[in-house]
Amino acid sequence: GQQVMQIPQYQHVQEGEDFTTYCNSSTTLSNIQWYKQRPGGHPVFLIQLVKSGEVKKQKRLTFQFGEAKKNSSLHITATQTTDVGTYFCAGASGYSTLTFGKGTMLLVSP
């Protein structure tokens, strides 16, 4: 079955440093979605990437979808304490269900 691997599992940065999490799928995806889950919260949709090579920005967050539509990344510039949480990627293939990566837990120290 489809597998989505996400690294790193955990990252601790100082406020102001950059952060990147990476996702790799075992199969070509029709789209990839990113979610953020704050501690004690629920997953909140951030963005969906559909096109090969697509790059989207949301303020300090930059999302990329690989040319082969099998990998993606989320980069946060100049992290803030409000960025703390677990970031999940979730890949979709055809009309199948979303396959979630294991998530990257981000801790930001002031």
Partner 1 sequence: DTEVTQTPKHLVMGMTNKKSLKCEQHMGHRAMYWYKQKAKKPPELMFVYSYEKLSINESVPSRFSPECPNSSLLNLHLHALQPEDSALYLCASSQGGGPGETGDTQYFGPGTRLTVL
Instruction: Find the shortest distance in angstroms from Cβ 66 to partner 1.
Output: 17
- CA 61 remoteness from chain centre: 10
Backbone angle region of 82, left / alpha / beta, with phi > 0 → left and psi within -120 to 50 → alpha: alpha
Instruction: Find the shortest distance in angstroms from Cβ 78 to partner 1.
Output: 26
CB hemisphere CA count around 5 (13 angstroms):
6
| DSSP code string of 87-101 | EEEEEE-TTSPPEE-
Single-letter residue type at 60:
R
Give contact residues for partner 1 (rule: CB under 8 A): 30-31, 33, 35, 41-45, 48, 50, 86, 88, 90, 92-98, 100-103, 105
Cβ proximity to partner 1, 9 vs 81, nearer residue: 9
Instruction: Find the shortest distance in angstroms from Cβ 16 to partner 1.
Output: 26
Instruction: Find the shortest distance in angstroms from Cβ 35 to partner 1.
Output: 8
Cβ proximity to partner 1, 90 vs 106, nearer residue: 90
